Amino acid sequence: MADLNLSASPSSGGEKSKTPAPKGPTTGTPKLRMSPAGDHSPVSRTAGAIVGVVSVVALALAIFLSNPSAPTTQGTGTGTGTTASSVTPTGHTTRVSVGVDGMAFTPNHIEVPVGDRLIVDFTNSGDQRHDLVFETGVSSGSLAAGETKELDLGVISGDVEGWCSLPGHREMGMTLHVQATGASSSSSGTSASGSHAHHGHDHGQDAAAGPATPTALTDYAATIDARDPVLPPATNETERHYTFTVTEQTVNVTSSLTRESWTFNGDAPGPILRGHIGDTFHITLVNNGTMSHSLDFHAGLVAPDNVMRSIEPGQTLEYTFVAKNAGIWLYHCSTAPMSMHIANGMFGAVIIDPTDLDKVDREYVMVASELYLGADGQPADASLLSALQPNAMAFNGVPFQYKAHPIQIKTNERVRVWVMDAGPNLATTFHVVGTQFDTVWREGAYVIRGGGSGGGWGQVLTLGAAEGGFVEFTPLEAGHYAFVNHALSLAEKGQLGVFEVTD
Ligand SMILES: [Cu+2]
């Protein structure tokens, strides 16, 4: 791969010789700018939304005016198209209890005679926060596990769709279908549900078109500090204490696009921890978010049942493990859908040194991850995520950041790069253009060691989702050495950086 049109040279907007500013040791502070909403595009989106609302209101008003004797629906939030045509209230109320089992409502299908008033007693009997939202606008709001809410859907004139609106939950199967029985063919029921059928799929259309171009991503990366890729050596304590605080916030992706990010300690990836075999890690997880979250440390050998459980906003959890084996181990939120929680930023790595690491001059860490950008300000697009179709890719959380801010090294320096594929889905084949690896360590063992002394040479470190390892190499000549995911369509989406080598 000689040149790649991935242009190893820094972006025009970048500060060419800027060395990424050093960052605190193992649990450094976030360097990424976390600004709230972007610039004009939200304004125009809001304007568009207002126009939309106005036209809906106008339509509803027109329907009401043309049929002033239409029954007034009871309860809140109803009164959209579903009840527009003439349905005679029966005066009877149907009452149904709905619970949650895993990522499904039970029951997920309710039959109600047309004209009945429907009341749903919704209990979140699941193991994390959920809500129940109906297309009519009736909503339970976010309920903690165990909480109950009565929902009044008013007089039922046609089918009504419901779902959980927490990111990814609907796509996991949390839907509830209310079927109006005994409806005449002239009832608005079918047309109403038909007109709403595509409503829920609108979101994501922007994303399919690609909301952030490589140029926009690179230009934005040039305006922020790169996350420090330097991996400091492990400290000597054997009892290690960390606090992981979960927050949810809006972050910029480009100068005009934001996304909702869920993080450990405010940054994605979360803290990179490093220790030795035999160390004990004491982690306190604090959930300062609005939904349920959790932690899964691949570095530990413990029964998942207790330590990996989801906790509520405001709760804390103690998670202790002894690092028995060397590796670069993934950690991540394991609350369903896990793909969504990881795609939104809830991942990081724990490095446990092998006992026979060679001496190097420079040591870096790169955590590879996928971005499924949706509409402005939204979490990962669930449709793209389900289809394994990321529209941006990153090393250490930000696409193209080390293209915009090349990493400075010297000729003949020996370099080690630890690589973790946080996924959530795709493989990373890590390659440094212009070098060969004399050492490749992958998932607990040296695959190649010794280079010229008979150990062979390598060109990529291949990692599936959640795999990790490191490579060692020595650049011999000054120049710009791109490092990429050699699945090149993914490099072109942002998994591309540059080592700038000088004499
Ligand atoms: Cu989470």
- CB crowding 17-44: b at 16 or more within 10 Å, else e: ebebeebeebebebbbebeeebeebbee
Model pLDDT, residue 173: 83
Distance in Å, CA 281 to ligand 1 centroid: 20
Q: What average pLDDT does this structure show over 208-222?
A: 84
For residue 341, report the distance from its CA to the centre of ligand 1, in Å: 5
Closest CA relative to residue 142, chosen from 293, 336, 291 = 291
Alpha carbon 167 to its chain's center? 10
Ligand 1 center from residue 476 Cα (angstroms):
44
Residue linked to tokens 């004209």 = 115
- Calculate the alpha carbon distances from 229 to 18, 111, 329, 343, 367 in Å: 13, 57, 17, 20, 9
What are the beta bridge partners of residue 416? 363, 472
Q: What is the 3-state secondary structure (H, E, C) of 356-401?
A: CCCCCCEEEEEEEEEECCCCCCECCCHHHHHCCCCCEEEECCECCH
Please, which pLDDT band fits residue 452 given cuts at 50, 70 and 90?
Answer: low
9 CA distance to ligand 1 centroid (A)?
37
149 Cα to the center of ligand 1, angstroms: 24
The pLDDT of residue 183 is above 80? no
Model confidence at 200: pLDDT above 90: no
Q: What is the pLDDT of residue 172?
A: 81
Instruction: Using the mean position of ligand 1's atoms as its centre, give its distance from the Cα of residue 335 in Å.
Output: 5
- The confidence band for 4, taking pLDDT boundaries of 50, 70 and 90, is very low
Rounded to the nearest angstrom, the distance between the alpha carbon of 99 and the centre of ligand 1 is: 22
How remote is the CA of residue 130 from the centroid of ligand 1, in Å? Answer: 13
- CA 248 to ligand 1 centroid distance, Å: 9
The pLDDT value recorded for residue 63 is 35
CA–centroid distance, residue 124 to ligand 1 (Å): 18
Q: For residue 180, what pLDDT is reported?
A: 94
Mean of the pLDDT values across residues 342-355?
Answer: 98
* Residue 287 and residue 246 in contact, taking contact as beta carbons nearer than 8 Å: yes
SS3 category, 34: coil
Residue 336 Cα to ligand 1 middle (Å): 8
26 neighbors 274 (Cβ within 8 angstroms): yes
Q: Report helix, strand or coil for 322.
A: strand
Give the tens place of pLDDT for each residue, 60-74: 333 333 333 333 333
Q: How far is the CA of 346 from the centre of ligand 1 (A)?
A: 6
Lowest-confidence segment of 67-81, 280-294, 301-315 by average pLDDT: 67-81
pLDDT score recorded for residue 470: 98
Residue 21 reports pLDDT greater than 60: no
Q: Quote the ligand 1 centre to 287 CA distance (angstroms).
A: 9
Q: What is the distance in A from the centroid of ligand 1 to the CA of 295?
A: 8
Q: How many A from CA of 247 to the centre of ligand 1?
A: 9
Distance 440 CA to ligand 1 centre (A): 32
Which token pair is 464? 């599936």
Ligand 1 mean position, distance from CA 140 (Å): 21
pLDDT tens, residue by residue, 359-401: 999 999 999 999 999 999 999 999 999 999 999 999 999 999 9
Its sign, for the CA torsion 445, 450, 456, 460, is: positive
What proportion of the chain, given as a percentage, has pLDDT over 90?
A: 73
Q: What share of the chain is helix, strand, coil (3-state, %, to 5)?
A: 15, 35, 50
CA of 422 to the centre of ligand 1 (A): 14
Given CA atoms 397, 403, 408, 413 in this order, what sign does their dihedral have?
A: positive
Q: What is the pLDDT of residues 235-265, one digit of tens each?
A: 999 999 999 999 999 999 999 999 999 999 9
Per-residue pLDDT, averaged over 95-124, amounts to 94
The helix/strand/coil state of 49 is helix
Residue-wise pLDDT tens digits, 402-449: 999 999 999 999 999 999 999 999 999 999 999 999 999 999 999 999
Judge residue 338's burial from the number of C-beta atoms within 10 Å of its C-beta, 0-12 exposed, 13-18 middle, 19 or more buried.
middle
Spacing, Cα 357 to ligand 1 middle (Å): 34
Helix/strand/coil for 471:
strand
Say how many Å lie between the CA of residue 173 and the centre of ligand 1. Answer: 18
Q: Over the stretch 25-44, which tens digit does the pLDDT of each residue have?
A: 333 333 333 333 333 333 33
**∠ CA(71), CA(72), CA(77), 5° rounding?**
135
Quote the pLDDT of residue 343.
98
Residues with CB under 5 A from ligand 1 (ion): 293, 333, 335, 341, 346
- Give distance in angstroms: CA of 152 to centre of ligand 1: 31
Q: How far apart are CA 154 and CA 255, in angstroms?
A: 44
Q: Are strands 496-502 and 407-410 parallel, antiparallel or unpaired?
A: parallel
Residues 6+ apart with CB under 8 A from 142: 129, 130, 131, 166, 290, 291
Ranking 169-178, 226-235, 306-315 by mean pLDDT, the lowest is 169-178
Specify the pTM. 0.76
Question: Positive or negative, the Cα torsion across 219, 222, 227, 232?
Answer: positive
Q: Are 420 and 461 in contact (CB under 8 A)?
A: no
Please, what is the average pLDDT of the chain?
Answer: 83
How far apart are the CA of 78 and the centre of ligand 1, in A?
33
Specify whether the CB–CB gap between 435 and 382 falls below 8 A.
no
> pLDDT digits over 155-167, tens only?
999 999 999 999 9
Q: How confident is the model at residue 455 (pLDDT cuts 50, 70, 90)?
A: confident
